[in-house]
Structure 1
Amino acid sequence: MDFLMSGLAACGACVFTNPLEVVKTRMQLQGELQAPGTYQRHYRNVFHAFFTIGKVDGLAALQKGLAPALLYQFLMNGIRLGTYGLAEAKGYLHTADGNLSPVHSAAAGALAGIMGAYLGSPIYMVKTHLQAQAASEIAVGHQYKHQIFPPQSWKVALAAAMVSGIAVVMAMTPFDVASTRLYNQPTDTHGKGLMYRGILDALLQTARTEGIWGMYKGIGASYFRLGPHTILSLFFWDQLRFLYHTYTK
């Protein structure tokens, strides 16, 4: 049951934060391997990106990739939180005398995270491809032509004030940019990437060609996404646990 509730809680948060994920993906692909000032900036900042996407691609485009995003969140977080909760329930996080072991806890968290990320990676790639799709006048990055479901209109906006998460996005955004580009790069007939050899190569090429700030593209979107997604995940998690325990007594 922990797997199910963890996955559903993350899906609830994803519905509200997916538009920011679309904005983040496009800003991270903008100007890929082009020196600053040599390309047209379709998205100047988070708010301009929202306006541009809504105006050119339509409001429904702000929820592009929602289906695989929900599946990814359900799978990754279901496995990650569910596995950790199972380890806690079985007592693996405690020492023989009953005290919580930081080493055991860190090991269980790392293993659960690796399992979730590994199994969710193919779905994340599809999500990235769909979120990068745009009208030709505002297209960035390689344009895959996937079509899973017909476009649906989602007229939902979430306004949130961020008071924390700066350190997280500063540390993680370069790797997020690299992963977005790795997932979105064109491939040869054998499925091998044509632009990057791996995450380190993607980071080095980006820094060398676009400068240090190129590694922080989309940081505004990541920042404004982080807080709502975390809060909503915890909110839905608490509500689902409450309902489960209420109706199973």
Structure 2
Amino acid sequence: MDFVCGGLAASGACIFSNPFDVLKTRMQLQGELQAKGQHAIYYKNVFHAGYVVVKNEGLGGIQKGLGIAMILHGIRNFIRLGIYQTLENEGFLTDSKGKTILYKSGLASAFAGATGAFFGSPLFLIKTQLQSQAAEQIAVGHQHGHRGAIRAIQTIYNQHGVFGLWRGANGIMIRAVAGSSSQLTTFAVTKDKLKEIDYLKNSLFITSLLASIISGVVQTIAINPFDVVSTRLYNQGVDANGRGLLYSGVVDCFTKIIRTEGLSGIYKGVIANYMRLGPHSLFCLIFWDILKEAKVKYIDNRMNK
């Protein structure tokens, strides 16, 4: 049941966060491996990006990849939040007073995040490539020309087999370690602190709301460089052997981005990323807490009958 709660919470949150995911992806690919002033700027900021996408692609443009994104986040967080909650239920993450132990929470959330990312990697690959596909006049990055998620999976599998679907998995797993450990640990510790305030002690919604906002900020700062790298690794074109045309791996991607685009290159799309992670973290973690509480009440009612 803990695994189901995590999957449902993330899928629901995705509906609200996906438009910013599309904008974030476009902004991260803009000016790829080009110095400032040496490339066209189609997306000036997140608000301008939203306007440009809707103007050229319609409202459907900012919800590209929504279906596959909901399945991805459902599967990934079914595993991630399920593992974390199971470890918490078994008492591995808290002390004798029920307070979160920082390093244990960090290790558990990192492991849970990496595991979820590995199994969700093929869907993340497809999601990124679908979201990057744009009208010709505002296109950035490699354009794969997929005609839907199922066609994309079939094409990649037919050309490069199972390994082609898991291309870039190491990048997304590192991203998940940074993002999951910072998000879940900050969320748990912040909730513990907030519950020490008498006014908030019995308010699940407010403590979850405030904790998710804070954890979203921390997560965005930690995750953005790895997110840029993951986007670039997933979206790059490949040769006949399935090898990337621009980057050979995570380290090579980091090196080339910093060398050609500067340190600001690994923080491209950071505002859009927060506007994605903020609502996603907010709704996901609040839904998660609500579903967990509903589960506990359901079990209690069954036992008392």
Query: Is there any run of 5+ residues in structure 1 with no aligned partner, and where?
Result: 151-161
Structure-2 residue corresponding to 1:241:
292
Structure-2 residue corresponding to 1:226:
277
1:117 aligns with 2:117: yes
Q: Aligned AA for 1:239?
A: I
Q: Aligned AA for 2:273?
A: S
Q: Aligned AA for 1:60?
A: G
Structure-1 residue corresponding to 2:3:
3
Structure-1 residue corresponding to 2:193:
none
Does the 8 Å CA contact 2:213/2:282 hold for their aligned counterparts? no
- The structure whose RCO (Cα within 8 Å, separation 6+) is larger is 1
1:207 aligns with 2:258: yes
Distance 1:170 1:109, change over 3 A: closer
Structure-1 residue corresponding to 2:63:
63
Distance 1:61 1:91 in 2: 45
1:42 aligns with 2:93: no
SS at match of 1:84: helix
The structural deviation recorded for 1:244 is 3.5
The structural deviation recorded for 1:102 is 5.0
The structural deviation recorded for 1:235 is 2.1
C-alpha distance after superposition, 1:155-209 (max 9, x if no partner): xxxxxxx975555433322221111000000111221111101111111111111
Judging by fraction of residues, say which structure has more helix.
2
Query: Is there any run of 5+ residues in structure 2 with no aligned partner, and where?
Result: 151-211
Distance 1:137 1:15, change over 3 A: same
The structural deviation recorded for 1:243 is 3.8
Q: Aligned AA for 2:79?
A: I
Structure-1 residue corresponding to 2:177:
none
The structural deviation recorded for 1:100 is 6.6
The structural deviation recorded for 1:88 is 2.6
Distance 1:130 1:122 in 2: 12
Distance 1:92 1:57, change over 3 A: same
The structural deviation recorded for 1:103 is 4.9
C-alpha distance after superposition, 1:102-128 (max 9, x if no partner): 554443322212211111111101000
TM-score (norm 1): 0.86
TM-score (norm 2): 0.71
Q: What pairs up with 1:1-249 in 2 under 5 angstroms?
A: 1-93=1-93, 102-148=102-148, 164=214, 165-248=216-299, 249=301
Q: Aligned AA for 2:146?
A: H
SS at match of 1:72: helix
C-alpha distance after superposition, 1:51-76 (max 9, x if no partner): 00001011011110111111111111
C-alpha distance after superposition, 1:11-65 (max 9, x if no partner): 1111000000000000000111112111110100000000000010110111101
Distance 1:207 1:236 in 2: 38
Identity of aligned residues (%): 49
SS at match of 2:144: coil
SS at match of 1:205: helix
SS at match of 2:128: helix
Distance 1:192 1:149 in 2: 21
Distance 1:82 1:167, change over 3 A: closer
